[in-house]
């Protein structure tokens, strides 16, 4: 489970394949702690490590992405 990973010292990280991003704005709406819309209109990851309290939201954002360009691992 995610909680077990954190307790063992592993951090979750989000990445966006920006070349496929359509700029819909859904990910920062779901998880503003991790994602924001950049000046070029595409989403970007704003943290190196996903805060523990934002992990579920980050995963939801990845699953909700209409073009499936977000990875949370």
The model's pLDDT over 6-22, given as tens digits with 9 standing for 90+, comes to 545 678 999 999 999 99
Q: pTM score, two decimals?
A: 0.86
Q: What is the pLDDT of residue 11?
A: 83
How does residue 1 score in pLDDT terms, banded at 50, 70 and 90? very low
Instruction: Calculate the alpha carbon distances from 66 to 11, 20, 37 in Å.
Output: 25, 10, 15
Cβ proximity of 61 and 70 under 8 Å:
yes
Beta carbons of 34 and 54 less than 8 angstroms apart: yes
Residue 69 token pair: 């360009």
């Amino acid at each position: 489970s995610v909680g077990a990973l954190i307790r063992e010292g592993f951090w979750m990280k989000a990445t966006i394949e920006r070349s496929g991003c359509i700029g819909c704005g859904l990910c920062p709406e779901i998880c503003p702690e991790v994602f924001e819309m950049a000046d070029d209109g595409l989403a970007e990851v704003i943290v190196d490590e996903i805060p523990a309290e934002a992990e579920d939201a980050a995963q939801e954002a990845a699953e909700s992405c209409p073009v499936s360009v977000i990875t949370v691992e």
